[in-house]
Structure 1
Amino acid sequence: MASSYPTLAPFIFKRPWLTNMLRPVANWYGNAAGYRQLGLRADDLIVEENENVIKALKRLPPKEAYDRVYRIRRAFQCSTTHKLLPKSEWTKIEEDVPYLQPLIDQITAEDKERAALDSLTVIKNH
């Protein structure tokens, strides 16, 4: 599995014209999804039941891990009270950058490399 969720991002980012065309749609969708109004970032929504996600969470720097927990708890509190954060506390588009997905991708690559090394066969020349 290349990532924890399916994505067309690599295909789109290789084509600047497509990136420029889809950026407004992506920003609109990010705002319409509602997670930014709760102070969350996109990577906060990645399900933690995957083994690679759990490993990635353990690799987060302490401050980033604390900030993640804070954002999730604050969003849960908002959800419980059926209120959104004040607009000044919404996650801004420029703040909504991946912090967990790169670690997940790194762990996936390490797993693939480990599997490739484990399946190596040594052929002895006589």
Structure 2
Amino acid sequence: MSGNEKSDGAFRTIGEVATATGVAPHVLRYWETRFPELRPVTRAGNRRYYRPADVALIERIQRLLGTEGYTVKGVQKLLAAEGRGGKIVPPSAASEQSIDGESSPMNSVVAPETIEVIRSIRDRLQRALDAA
């Protein structure tokens, strides 16, 4: 290990986490306000130090928002449900179909009743457009 490398268990500064994950420091600070699960250690001068678990959570939030199509609110619900011991079906394993009949990451956070209401509205709109 060279002089600049840290061990896997070492705390990281916001700049180090930003460089490692590609998430800008201002976005990391914003996520701290939106996700109570993300709480880095703060020391003198309010400097943030991220634990390995924090970095893993950041990478997960980044994947959920950027790749899997979740909204901030959707990720909040997912993390809150997991924190309460609730079972969330991961998007890759979602067996329900979306409104269009396609698999969707939102299936794990949208109630089936809501999907039915949306389908009903969609069908009524389509009938109105067809009649016009």
**TM-score, normalised to structure 1's length?**
0.31
* Greater relative contact order structure (CA < 8 Å, 6+ sep): 1
**TM-score, normalised to structure 2's length?**
0.30
Which is richer in helix? 1
Which is richer in strand? 2
Q: Which has the larger radius of gyration?
A: 2
